[in-house]
Structure 1
Amino acid sequence: MKAVAIQSFGSPSGLAVIDLPVPAPADGQVLIATEAIGVGGVDVLIRSGALADYGFAEGHIPGSEVAGTVTAVGDGVDTSWIGRRVWAFTGVGGGYVEQAVAPVDEVLPLPAGLSAVDAVTLGSSGVVAHFALAHAHFAPGESVLVRGAAGSIGVTTVQLAARGGAGAVAVTTSSAERGDRLRKLGATHVLDRSGEGDADAPPGYDVIVDIVAGADLPSFFARLNPNGRMVAVGMVGGPPPADFGMTMMAAFRKSMSFATFSADTVPVSDRRAVRAGQFAAAGRGELEMVVHELLPLDQAVSAHRKMDAGEVFGRIVLTP
């Protein structure tokens, strides 16, 4: 089968198409003929080499979510899965392939009317957005800022905050055109990447969901209201400065909070329940999936170049 592997860390040109034998599902796993493969920010970080210290080595196959049809099952898995169209989380890799294996606990049937492309556009990002807002103890009426809102997590967070009754939903993004698109998804205020640019925006926010991190993260503490909460769900801009917490300490009397969030800390059963609800909502037209572009699997290099250039609004999806 065709697969895409990281032959060398660094630029997207380090990705290469390779041939691998079709894997056999192990105990508790299913084999999926992929129809759609999500390209995520973590794939880019792994490919760049930024996460090499976390055990990722050259030869790694990126991709964490796929959708397609189950073609085989391992021992201990009900054979009724065979032939069903599903979404699946493959882990921190193994998704850029024509045939993917995944634990059956991380597999969810696709409801009628939800395409494989839509499933990988919403599957992981929707769960992160939902639980990030919960992690921040977001309540109706509170103001929310989504920093780096143009990616799939940001797009979904904007929608969920608006549906959840936020008093205001501000976003940071790189262009007026992207701002207009985010307004149609529920944003009420559009800011530039520094957090400026809208004179009518709230002076502070109760919740900030940060997908960017990077050198400018500490400056956004000043945009938290007293008792405000910032939750970092990504590092597409790289890690923050080592002493970023000193900015919070300097504003000690505001009782601000900072937290990181990874969906890995959420029980599988809870992730499944939320994802199933979101898939159903998407099927009813209550959530919008934003697909930037469909590209063949063998054009993964092009997909990563677009990600590196910051050109992507929503999600790029690879198709075998």
Structure 2
Amino acid sequence: MKAVAIQAFGSPEGLAVIDVAEPDPADGQVLITTEAIGVGGVDTMIRSGALSAYGFTEGHIPGGEIAGTVTAVGDGVDPAWVGQRVWAFTGVGGGYAEHAIAPATTLIRLPATLSAVDAVTLGSSAAVAHFGLRHAHFAPGESVLVRGAAGGIGIMTVQLAAQGGARAVAVTTSSLERGDRLRKLGATHVLDRVGEAAQDAPAGYDVIIDIVAGTALPLFFARLNPNGRMVVVGAVAGDPPADFAMEMFGAFQKSMSFATFSANTVPAPDRHAVTADLLAAASRGELEPVVHEVLPLERAVLAHQKMDAGEVFGRIVLTPSGS
């Protein structure tokens, strides 16, 4: 079968299409013929070598989020899964392939009205957005700022905050065109990348959900209201400065809070149930999956080039030939 592997850490050109044997599902696993493969920020970080300390090596096949049809099951898995169209989380990669292995415990049957492309566009991003807002103790009537709102997690955070009764949902983004698109998804105010406010935007926010991190992160502590909470759910711009907490400590009297969040800390059954609910909501038209572009699996290099260039609004999805 065809797959895309990291032959050399670094630039997107280090990805290559290879021929590998179709894998066999082990105990508790299923084999899925992929119809859609999500391209995520973590994939680009693994490809760059930034996560090599976590055990990722050259030769790794990226891809944690897929949708397709179950074609085989391992021992201990209900054979009734065979033939079912599902969303699945592979966990450690392997998704950039015509056939992929996933734990049976991650499987969610696709609603009949939800495409495989929309499922991988929304699935894990919506779950991170949901739990990120919960980690920030977001409540109806509060104001929210989403930093880096044009990606999959940001877009879902905007929609969920607006639907959850936020008083205001501000976003940082790189262009007026993206700001206009985010307004249609629930944003009420558009800021520039360093958080400079539009004339009518709130002076401060009760909750900041940050997908960016990087050197500019400390600037946003000044945007928090008293008792405000910032939660970092991604780091597409890299680590913040080593002394970033000093900015918050300098505003001691505001009683602000800072936290990071990883979906890996959520018990798997809770994560599974929320993801299933969000996919069902999308199938009813209550959430909008935003697809930037659908590309053939063989063009994974182009997908990563677009990700690295910051050109993506929503999510890029790869599809194997014939899907």
Report the counterpart of residue 176 of structure 2 in structure 1: 176
Report the counterpart of residue 294 of structure 1 in structure 2: 294
Distance between the aligned counterparts of 1:220 and 1:94, measured in 2? Answer: 36
Report the counterpart of residue 7 of structure 2 in structure 1: 7
**SS of match in other structure, 1:207:** strand
Report the counterpart of residue 130 of structure 2 in structure 1: 130
TM-score (norm: length of structure 1): 0.99
Report the counterpart of residue 44 of structure 1 in structure 2: 44
Report the counterpart of residue 18 of structure 2 in structure 1: 18
By how many angstroms is 1:273 displaced?
1.1
Report the counterpart of residue 119 of structure 2 in structure 1: 119
By how many angstroms is 1:197 displaced?
4.3
**SS of match in other structure, 1:299:** helix
Runs of 4+ in 1 over 2 A off after TM superposition: none
Report the counterpart of residue 100 of structure 2 in structure 1: 100
Gaps in structure 2 of 5+ consecutive residues: none
CA RMSD of aligned residues (A): 0.6
By how many angstroms is 1:253 displaced?
1.2
Provide Cα deviations, 1:269-317, integer angstroms capped at 9, x if missing partner.
1111111111111111110000000000010000000000000000000
Distance between the aligned counterparts of 1:92 and 1:242, measured in 2? Answer: 29
Report the counterpart of residue 155 of structure 2 in structure 1: 155
By how many angstroms is 1:141 displaced?
0.3
Report the counterpart of residue 311 of structure 1 in structure 2: 311
TM-score (norm: length of structure 2): 0.98
Gaps in structure 1 of 5+ consecutive residues: none
**SS of match in other structure, 2:180:** helix
Provide Cα deviations, 1:208-254, integer angstroms capped at 9, x if missing partner.
00000000001101100111000000010111111111111111111
Distance between the aligned counterparts of 2:157 and 2:170, measured in 1? Answer: 11
Distance between the aligned counterparts of 1:37 and 1:189, measured in 2? Answer: 32
Distance between the aligned counterparts of 1:81 and 1:54, measured in 2? Answer: 32
Provide Cα deviations, 1:1-46, integer angstroms capped at 9, x if missing partner.
1010111111000001111100000000000000000000000111
Q: Percent identity?
A: 78
Provide Cα deviations, 1:157-186, integer angstroms capped at 9, x if missing partner.
000000000000000000000000000000
Provide Cα deviations, 1:91-148, integer angstroms capped at 9, x if missing partner.
1311101100000001111011010000000110010000000000000000000000
Q: Figure out how many residues of one structure are paired with residues of the other and give that number.
A: 320
Distance between the aligned counterparts of 2:184 and 2:284, measured in 1? Answer: 18
- 1:141-220 map, 5 Å: 141-220=141-220
Distance between the aligned counterparts of 2:200 and 2:36, measured in 1? Answer: 41
Report the counterpart of residue 89 of structure 2 in structure 1: 89
Distance between the aligned counterparts of 1:117 and 1:218, measured in 2? Answer: 36
